Structure 1
Amino acid sequence: MTSTPTTPFPAATITGYPRIGRRRELKKALEAYWAGRSSRAELEAVAAELQLATYRKLVELGLGAQDASLPAAFSLYDQVLDTATALGAVPARFADLADAEGRLGLDAGFVLARGDAGRPPLELTKWFDTNYHYLVPEIGPGTPFRADPAGLVADVRRAAEHGFAVRPVLVGPVSFLLLAKADDDAPAGFDPLERLPELVPVYAQLLRELAAAGAQWVQLEEPALVADQHVPAERLAEAVWDAYTELTAAAERPQVFVTTPYGSPGPLLHPLAASGIEALHLDLVAGTAPSAEELELFQEEDAPVLVAGAVDGHNVWRADLAGRLAQLAGLSGAGVAVSVASSTSLFHVPHDVAEETQLDPLLRSWLSFADQKVAEIVTLSRGLADGAEAVAGELAAATEARRTRAGAPGVRDAAVRERAGAVTGAEIGRAPAEVRRRAQEGRSFTASGPLPPLPTTTIGSFPQTPQVRAARAKARSGRIGAQDYDRFLREEIERVVRLQEELGLDVLVHGEAERNDMVQYFAEHLDGFATTVHGWVQSYGSRCTRPSILWGDVSREGGGVRGEAFTVPWIGHAQSLTDRPVKGMLTGPVTILAWSFVRDDQPLAETAEQVALALRDEVADLEAAGIGIVQVDEPALRELLPLRRADQPAYLDWSVRAFRLATSGVRDETQIHTHLCYSEFGEVVSAIDGLDADVTSIEAARSRMEVLTDLEAAGFSRGIGPGTWDIHSPRVPSQQEIEGLLERALAHVPASTLWVNPDCGLKTRGYAETRASLEHLVAAARALRERITEPAGVPLLVQHGLEG
C-alpha cells in the first residue's frame, strides 16, 4: 500500500479555466515585459493576481475552496512548455540556456517559445481538434529528464496562503511523449515514447514534492489517449499500464486524477481504470458514456471515481441539463461514484456571457461561457446529490432556452436550405489542373507579362498598427463617420500596396486593414452569425481571438439569398493602384466553422455547405471585378479532423466538398490559391490534394520543410508555397536562412511549381521586422532564380524568357 492522502474527490469540478484574463490582462503584461516596458516582478504580480482571481471567482460560483475542486491550470505561455520545464526536458539546441542543474528560468522558457536571433523556437501545432496551439517538445535519446517542481510548488503554496487548496496540473507522461517529436540528432526511427521508463520516475519525484507542499490531488492530462496514434494499440496500453501502476505505487504522493478530454479512450480505459489511480475523467460530450461492461471497472473495490465531463467545455451553448442529469443519475444508480465536471478545460471558451450586453438578449439566453458552465456543473452536482426537484428551476430554464432557440427566426431559412438542397456534383469541380495551368500561363497577370519563376507573395494580412486599431475603434464607437473611416482604409491600403511594390513582391495583397480578424470580418457580413465584444479566447502565448457565434442559417447580408459583395470594394481598390496582380482574400468554409462557436443542432457538413455557397458568390464577384487570383484560406483544415481514423474519411469528404463548392465557379484562367498552417499536415495530404487549388501555401518554417516529404510522396504536382518565415516568432530570418529553406524545398518540388512566401499572415508583426524579413525573402528568391536550373539543365530565367 502507498502512503497517500484520502481527501475525497470533489463532487463538482472543472479541468481548467480561461487564463488570459477577462480583459486580456496576461496578454498585455506579457507583451509589455517582452518589449521591455515592465519588469519581471510586474509580470509575475499580474500572473499571481490572475490565478487568485480565478480561485475567488470559482468559489463564488459554487466550487469548494478547500476540497481540491480548483485546478491550478494557469500558464504564462503554454501548458506543454510548462510540463517540459518541470521535467527538465531541455532540447539540445537550447541546452546553454539551462543553469548548472539543468533548470530553465522564465526568460529561457520564452526563448523556447519565441526563438532568438540564432535559433528558431519550438514548433507550434494545433492542440487536438481545437484552435489552441501548443509547443511541440523535442526529445532525443539523450534529452535530459530531471524534476524541477519549483513552479508547481509555488502555485500550491501561494494558493494555500490565500485559503485555497488547489490541484496542480501537468500533461501526463504518455501524452507528453506522444505529443513530442524526435529531435534533429535522434537516429532514424527513434520514437520519444521509448523514453517512458526514464520519464516516469521524474513524474514520481514531482508527485513527492507536491505532496510535501500539501497537494491532496494532482491532475495528469492524457488527451493523446483519445486519438489514434502511430504506435500499436497493444504497445500503447502497455505504456499506460506501466506508467500509472508505477506512479500509483510510489510512496508519499497526492491522489492521482487522470483526464481524457476531446474523445473516448476506447480500449485504453481498462488499463487506466485498473492502474490504481483514484479518479478518471471521461469526456461525455465528444466521447461516449461507458458501456455496461466498462462500468464494471468503476464498480470494483478501490475503483476510481468516474469524473463525468458532462458540460461542454469546447462550445458555448447551454447544456441540456435535464438530459445530462438523467444520464448522470443512471451512472450513479449503477453503483458508480460519480463527480460532475467539464468535458474539457474551459480555456476554450470566453469568461462570462453576462458581459456581452450588445448581443441580442434572446441569443444571449441560449449561451453558456466559462462562468455559466461552472454554474451548470454545480447545478448537476446538486441535482445528482439531492434529486431533480432540488434544481427544478434551473432545469426548467435550460429546457426553455433550448425550446426558444429551436424555433427562433433565422435559425432555419427556407431560401438558404432550398439553395443548398439543389446543389449537385456539377457545381463541384473545375477543368483538370493541367488545363488550368496552361490557361493561367497564357494570361498576363502583370503588365509586363507572366509571373517570374519562384514568384514572391505574402499570405494576406499586413501589420495591424495602433493607428489601424484606433481608427476601427473610433468607427465602431461613432467618433468618426463612415466616410472618414472609408478614406482612412483606402489610404492604408495604398500605403501597403506601395510598400509591396517597393519591396519587389510579385503578387500583392491589399493588407486587410478593414478586417479585425479573418473569421470575424466574414461573420459581420454573413447572416446567421453574431460577434462578441469581450469573448476573447487564447490561441497561443499572448495571442487571442474572439470566435464568432454561428447560430443560424448562413448567407451574405444585403437581401436575397445571394446578398451583396463585401470584399470587392477593398480588393478592387488595391488592384486599381497597381499593374501587379492583387490577390482576392477570403477565409474558407472549414476555417470559418473551426474558428467560430458553431451551432450544434445540425451536422457540420450542412453548415459548411451553407457557408461555402455564400463564399462562392463572393469569389464570383471578385472574378467579375477583374481579380485574377483568389486565395481562399483553410488553415484549419487539419484542426477539425476527427481524432479516430475511422471517422476521418467522412470529414475529409465534406470538408473538401465545401472548399470546392466555394471555389469551382470560376474560369480556368482564374488562379485559385489556398493557405494552410500550424498542423501536422502529413495526416491530410490526400485532402490537401483534393482541394484542387492551383497554388497551396503552407506552414513549413518551424518544421523545416517537413511537410514537403509527404506532399512529394503523394505526387502533389500543383503550385506549392512552403513558408520560409515563421511569423509567430519576432525574429527576422536572414536571406541565407530563407535560401537554405528554399533549397531544401527544391529537393522535393520542381522550381516551376515553387512559390516563395511567409508561413502566415503578418497581422501580428511590426513593420520594422516585416520590411526586413520581406526584403530577405525577395532577395533569396532572386538569388535562387539566377542559380538554379530545371532538370533539363536550362537556367530557370532563360527557360522562362526572363533572362537579363
Structure 2
Amino acid sequence: MNIIGFPRIGEKRELKKALESFWTKKMSENELLCVAKELRTLHWSYQKKCPFVVVNDFSLYDNMLDLSYALGAIPARFRNLKGLELYFAMARGNGENVACEMTKWFNTNYHFVVPELSKHDCYTVNAEKIINEYNEAKSLGYAPKISLIGLFTYIGLSKTSDNSSKKDIFPHLKKVYLELIKTLSTLEKGTIIEFHEPIFVKGENEFFPYIKEVYNEICTFGVKAIVTTYFEASNEATKILVETNIEGLGLDFLYGENNLTSLQLIANAGKKLYAGLIDGRNIWVANLDSKLSILDKISLIVPKDLIHIGTSCSLLHVPFSKDSEIKMDKEILSWLSFAKEKVRELELLESLFRNGIVDSNKEAYEFNKTINDGRKQSQKIHDTKVRERIANLVITERKESFQARIKTQRKELGYPDLATTTIGSFPQTPELRALRQKYKKGEIDTDTYENGIKEYITECIRFQEEIGLDVLVHGEPERNDMVEYFGEQMKGFVFSQNGWVQSYGSRCVKPPIIYGDTSRPESMTLKWSSFAQSLSKKIVKGMLTGPVTILNWSFVRDDLARKEVCKQLSLCIADEISDLQNGGIRIIQVDEAAFKEGYPLREENIKEYETWALECFKISSSVAKPQTQIHTHMCYSEFNDIIKTIEAMDADVISIETARSGNELLKIFKQVGYANEVGPGVYDIHSPRIPSVDEIYKQIKLLLEVLPKEQLWINPDCGLKTRKWEEVKPSLKNMIEAVKKIRSEG
C-alpha cells in the first residue's frame, strides 16, 4: 500500500489556528512546533498498516517553499533573515519586501509558493526539517518514506528573478539537490524517497534529456527511489524512467487512464508499480469492483508481486475525516469518503486484490457494493425539470458587440478612466463570523441577524464613499464562502460541517458537494445588493460566483460528465443575473477565479474543456442587457495560453491578480490587442503588509506602460475577506491617493 501524502491542517484545523496565533504573537515558536509534532504523530497513526508512513509531506506552509528553504534558494531580499522569520517572510512578505509569488498547484485549488531563482543564488543544503521528521517517525516505531518534490517539477514551476534562463540555473540547482539527496541517504541504508514529479504529465519539455542522468545519479547514493506522477498520464517520462536505476514508478490510473499503455515497459524493466487507484481529489466512496477491474488489467501485464496499490495523489486535496459529520443527510453521507476513510478503502482494496473475497473482508466488500448500488438508484440525484431544461438549451451569447456595449455603458454608468473598485469582499471580522454562527445555531432571530448584516454593509458603503472609490461593493458579510454561499441556496448541493481543505498556508476552504441535479429555487443575492445600492448614489456591483468556478471549487458528482453539471450551474447564474439587472443593479461581477485551474494538463485534452467551460460562462452572461456591465475576476494564472479564451468570454471588464508579478502577466493582453477593459491588481492581498502610496503609484505606472488609462481599472489583487480592517483601510486609502496623483498628472 502506498499513501502519497496526508492532509496536514488537522481534523479541527489545529495547524491553521496555531499558525495564526504564532503570526499574531499569541503563541511561541516552540508551541507552534509542538502542535506540528502532535499532528504528525496523529497522522502517522492512521497509516500504521502501511509498509511505510509518509515523512516530509507535512509543512508549516507549503512543500515547494520547504524545498526552497532546504536548498538555500532564498531571494536576495530575504537573505538577512533566518529560521521561521525567513520562512514565513518568503510566504507572506515582511516590511517593504513583497512575498514570493503564489500560483495553483497544477489544476487543483491548492496554492504553492513559486521558487525565485537567480544565477547569483548561493545554494546551501539545510535538511534539518526532513531529518527531524524522519527520526520522529523512527522513534515511534514506523518505517519512514520521505516525500520530496522532484528536481524537474521544482525547476519547471519556478521563475527566474533576473535575466538568466532556467537552463543556466539548472546545473547549480542540480548540484545542490543531489547534495540534499546524499545527506538524506545517510539516514539509514536504503532510505526510501518518493520523488513527486507531476510536471511529467504535461509532456516533454527542455529538461527531459536530463531525466535519466539525474535519477541514475540519485540512485548512486543507495536510496530506494520511487518517481511518482499524478493528475494525468505521463507516458513520455515513463519511457525514460524505466531505463534508470530507480526502484519503481507511481502512476495515476484514475485521472491518467492512458498510463495503462506503459505497463509493458514497466514489466519489461522489472520495476515496481505504485498504482494510484484510490481517488485523492474527490470524496466519493470507491467503487471497489471498478478498481479491481483496473487491477485485473494491470496484473495481466505487471507481475502481482510488483504491484503496490496507492492513492492517485496526495490526500491533501480532500477533507480529513467524516467522523464528525452529524448533520448531513445520512444517505448522502454514506456515499462519501474523506482521507481517513480512504486509507481504510486502500487497506480493503489491497486485501481483495491479494486474497479475493474471503471471510475477513467479505462484509466490508458487500457494504461497499450496497452503498454504490444505492447511490445509482437514489431519487435524490435526479430532477426531471432540470434535465428537460438542459435538453432544450440553446447555447447563446450577448447579441451586441463589446464596442457597442461599452459606449452605452460608459455613457450610462459615467465612471472615469482608471476607475477604482475592489474585487468584492471586505474583512470577515470575528464579530461577523459570530453573528452568522449564532444565527445558524438558532441563538438569535432573523431580525437581529439581518440588522447586524445591514449595519456591516452600511459601514462598508460609508467607508468606500469616504475614501472616494468609484464603484462600490456591499462587502459580502452574509457570505461564508464565495462558493458555499451559493451552493447553500441551490438544490443538488450538500455541505459538510468540518470538510476543510487547505488552500494555502493557514487558508482553508470547505468545498460544497454536488451530489445531484442543480437548480436555483429563488434569488440568492438581490436582497442584499438592492439594500447596498439604496445607501449610495454611486454604483454598487452585484457579486456572483461563476458556474465554472462553482464547479471547480466543489467536490463534483462522478456519475455525470462535468460539462453537464456545469451547464446546470450556468442556468442558475443566468437566472440570478436576470433578477439583479431587473432589480436595478447595473454592474454585475461574475467571478471565474478558478476558470484556469480546471484546465487539463495535457495539451490534447485542453480544447474540449475550453469549449464547454466557455459555453457555460456565455450561457450565464447571455441574459445581460447591453447597458449591464459584466465583470469577471480570475485568480493567479498564466494567461499566455488562454488569452484567446479570455477574449472569447467577452466580459466587459476582467480583473486579474498581478501584483506579485509586476506588469508581466498584463503584457499578453497588449500583445494580442485585447480590447475589453482590464483591472490588474495593484497590491497583494495575500500579505498583511500595507503598500505605500509610492509603491502603488509605481505599480500603476508599470501598468500604463502596457495599456492605456481608458482601458484600465484600478483594484487590489483579490477579495479582502481574509485581511483585517487595520490593513484594508490604509491600503485602499493609499490606492486612491496613488490614482489621484496619476490623474493629476494628466
User: Same fold by TM-score, threshold 0.5 exceeded?
Assistant: yes
SS in 2 for 1:186: coil
Answering whether residue 57 of structure 2 is matched by residue 73 of structure 1, we say yes
SS in 1 for 2:626: coil
| Residue 159 of structure 1, CA deviation | 1.6
| Residue 512 of structure 1, CA deviation | 0.3
What is the rounded CA distance, in whole Å, between the counterparts of 1:124 and 1:202 in structure 2? Answer: 23
Asked whether the 8 Å contact 2:20–2:506 carries over to 1, the reply is yes
Asked whether the 8 Å contact 1:173–1:196 carries over to 2, the reply is no
What is the rounded CA distance, in whole Å, between the counterparts of 1:160 and 1:701 in structure 2? Answer: 44
Report the equivalent of 2:466: 502
Q: 1:748–1:335: structure 2 CA closer, same or farther, 3 Å change rule? A: closer
SS in 2 for 1:355: coil
Asked whether the 8 Å contact 1:14–1:71 carries over to 2, the reply is no
Answering whether residue 697 of structure 2 is matched by residue 739 of structure 1, we say yes
Report the equivalent of 1:200: 174
| Aligned pairs (5 A) from 1:171-186 | 171-183=149-161, 185-186=162-163
Which range is displaced more, 413-422 or 88-97?
88-97
| Residue 287 of structure 1, CA deviation | 0.3
SS in 2 for 1:681: coil
Asked whether the 8 Å contact 1:411–1:551 carries over to 2, the reply is yes
Asked whether the 8 Å contact 1:72–1:166 carries over to 2, the reply is no
SS in 2 for 1:130: coil
| Partner amino acid, structure 2, of 1:262 | F
| Residue 69 of structure 1, CA deviation | 4.0
SS in 1 for 2:734: helix
| Aligned pairs (5 A) from 1:27-66 | 27-59=16-48, 63-64=49-50
| Aligned pairs (5 A) from 1:377-526 | 377-389=346-358, 391-425=361-395, 427-443=396-412, 445=413, 450-526=414-490
Note the alpha carbon deviations across 1:514-562, whole angstroms, 9 max, x for none: 0000000001001000111100000000100000101111111xxxxxx
SS in 1 for 2:179: helix
Answering whether residue 75 of structure 2 is matched by residue 91 of structure 1, we say yes
Identity over aligned residues, as a percent? 39
What is the rounded CA distance, in whole Å, between the counterparts of 2:55 and 2:80 in structure 1? Answer: 33
Asked whether the 8 Å contact 2:474–2:529 carries over to 1, the reply is yes
SS in 2 for 1:538: strand
Report the equivalent of 1:794: none
SS in 2 for 1:528: strand
| Residue 491 of structure 1, CA deviation | 1.1
What is the rounded CA distance, in whole Å, between the counterparts of 1:166 and 1:246 in structure 2? Answer: 22
Note the alpha carbon deviations across 1:126-176, whole angstroms, 9 max, x for none: 000100000110112232222211111011112212222221221101110
Asked whether the 8 Å contact 1:68–1:217 carries over to 2, the reply is no
Alignment: residue pair count: 742
Report the equivalent of 1:714: 672
Answering whether residue 111 of structure 2 is matched by residue 136 of structure 1, we say no
Report the equivalent of 1:326: 293
| Residue 193 of structure 1, CA deviation | 4.2
Report the equivalent of 1:146: 124
Which range is displaced more, 778-787 or 74-83?
778-787
Q: 1:223–1:335: structure 2 CA closer, same or farther, 3 Å change rule? A: closer
Report the equivalent of 1:675: 633
Report the equivalent of 1:580: 538
What is the rounded CA distance, in whole Å, between the counterparts of 2:212 and 2:170 in structure 1? Answer: 12
Note the alpha carbon deviations across 1:268-313, whole angstroms, 9 max, x for none: 1111122111121001111025446x32332236x32100000110
SS in 2 for 1:353: coil
| TM-score (norm. length: structure 2) | 0.97
Which range is displaced more, 712-721 or 407-416?
407-416
Report the equivalent of 1:777: 735
What is the rounded CA distance, in whole Å, between the counterparts of 2:700 and 2:399 in structure 1? Answer: 30
| Partner amino acid, structure 2, of 1:186 | N
> Which sections of structure 2, spanning at least 5 residues, go unmatched?
none
What is the rounded CA distance, in whole Å, between the counterparts of 1:35 and 1:610 in structure 2? Answer: 43
| Residue 228 of structure 1, CA deviation | 4.1
Report the equivalent of 1:242: 213
What is the rounded CA distance, in whole Å, between the counterparts of 2:497 and 2:89 in structure 1? Answer: 32
What is the rounded CA distance, in whole Å, between the counterparts of 2:437 and 2:260 in structure 1? Answer: 53
Report the equivalent of 1:542: 506
Which residue of 243, 252, 256 maps to 1:283?
252
What is the rounded CA distance, in whole Å, between the counterparts of 1:388 and 1:128 in structure 2? Answer: 38
| Partner amino acid, structure 2, of 1:86 | A
Which residue of 119, 125, 133 maps to 1:155?
133
SS in 1 for 2:163: coil
What is the rounded CA distance, in whole Å, between the counterparts of 1:570 and 1:743 in structure 2? Answer: 36
| Aligned pairs (5 A) from 1:652-671 | 652-671=610-629
Asked whether the 8 Å contact 2:55–2:134 carries over to 1, the reply is no
Which residue of 560, 583, 586 maps to 1:625?
583
Report the equivalent of 2:523: 565
Asked whether the 8 Å contact 2:110–2:502 carries over to 1, the reply is yes
Asked whether the 8 Å contact 1:318–1:368 carries over to 2, the reply is yes
| Residue 397 of structure 1, CA deviation | 2.1
| Residue 750 of structure 1, CA deviation | 1.3
| Partner amino acid, structure 2, of 1:96 | N
Note the alpha carbon deviations across 1:541-598, whole angstroms, 9 max, x for none: 0100000101111111xxxxxx211200001000001101000000000110111001
Asked whether the 8 Å contact 1:379–1:391 carries over to 2, the reply is yes
Report the equivalent of 2:560: 602
Asked whether the 8 Å contact 2:629–2:652 carries over to 1, the reply is yes
RMSD: 1.5
Answering whether residue 665 of structure 2 is matched by residue 689 of structure 1, we say no
SS in 2 for 1:586: strand
| Aligned pairs (5 A) from 1:287-302 | 287-288=256-257, 290-291=259-260, 294-300=262-268
| Partner amino acid, structure 1, of 2:384 | A
Report the equivalent of 1:555: 519
| Partner amino acid, structure 1, of 2:297 | G
Answering whether residue 212 of structure 2 is matched by residue 212 of structure 1, we say no
Note the alpha carbon deviations across 1:639-675, whole angstroms, 9 max, x for none: 0011011111111111111111111102101110001
Which residue of 361, 365, 379 maps to 2:330?
361
Note the alpha carbon deviations across 1:223-261, whole angstroms, 9 max, x for none: 1111146x3xxx44312112111111x23x321111101
What is the rounded CA distance, in whole Å, between the counterparts of 1:54 and 1:161 in structure 2? Answer: 15
Report the equivalent of 1:589: 547
Answering whether residue 104 of structure 2 is matched by residue 126 of structure 1, we say yes
| Residue 786 of structure 1, CA deviation | 1.5
| Partner amino acid, structure 1, of 2:183 | E
Which residue of 20, 32, 52 maps to 2:9?
20
Report the equivalent of 1:3: none
What is the rounded CA distance, in whole Å, between the counterparts of 1:163 and 1:321 in structure 2? Answer: 31
Report the equivalent of 1:613: 571
SS in 2 for 1:672: strand
Asked whether the 8 Å contact 1:203–1:247 carries over to 2, the reply is no
Report the equivalent of 1:106: 84
> Which sections of structure 1, spanning at least 5 residues, go unmatched?
1-11, 98-103, 557-562, 789-804
Asked whether the 8 Å contact 2:55–2:133 carries over to 1, the reply is no
What is the rounded CA distance, in whole Å, between the counterparts of 1:341 and 1:202 in structure 2? Answer: 30
| TM-score (norm. length: structure 1) | 0.90
| Partner amino acid, structure 1, of 2:22 | Y
What is the rounded CA distance, in whole Å, between the counterparts of 1:334 and 1:223 in structure 2? Answer: 24
SS in 2 for 1:163: coil
| Residue 483 of structure 1, CA deviation | 1.6
What is the rounded CA distance, in whole Å, between the counterparts of 1:643 and 1:335 in structure 2? Answer: 27
What is the rounded CA distance, in whole Å, between the counterparts of 1:727 and 1:740 in structure 2? Answer: 17
